[in-house]
Amino acid sequence: MGDFASPAAVPTGGGICINNSNLNSAINATNNNSSGGGNVGIPKHSTVVERLRQRIEGCRRHHVNCESRYQQAHAEQLELERRETVNLHQRTLELRAKKSSNSKQQSKQQEPDSTATIEQRNNTLIAVSRLLCA
């Protein structure tokens, strides 16, 4: 019964939104009740503060738990992205090496052809020069 303050303790027009009919009925009940234990509906300041402290503490605990999970998930995500980056870089290097080895092989294959073409041209020039000189 000591959990509620008297309605007179709440200033009128204060920040608490209370239906006027409920407030009037609480005041009338207090005035009509001679035992003094009939205060209805308005909790004591200490009760409200204690509930707020409990609620804030619960929110703080929840935040601490979520923060550690968030940091762990973030670290795992960074590690995953790092691995993907390394894999992509490795694949890029392999593709470059493969392209350069293919181009070297193609140029080596073209070189004998170009060498044969040069030799054939030289032989043709020699033969023509012999015909002209003879």
Residue 123: predicted pLDDT = 83
CA 38 vs CA 30, 43, 48: distances in Å: 6, 12, 19
Residue 109: predicted pLDDT = 65
Residue 128: predicted pLDDT = 79
- For residue 44, the Cα-to-chain-centroid distance in whole angstroms is 43
pTM for this model (two decimals): 0.38
The pLDDT profile of the chain, 134 residues, written as one tens digit per residue, is 445 454 444 444 444 444 455 545 555 544 444 444 555 678 788 999 999 999 999 999 999 999 989 999 999 999 999 999 999 999 999 998 888 887 777 766 665 556 667 788 888 888 877 777 76
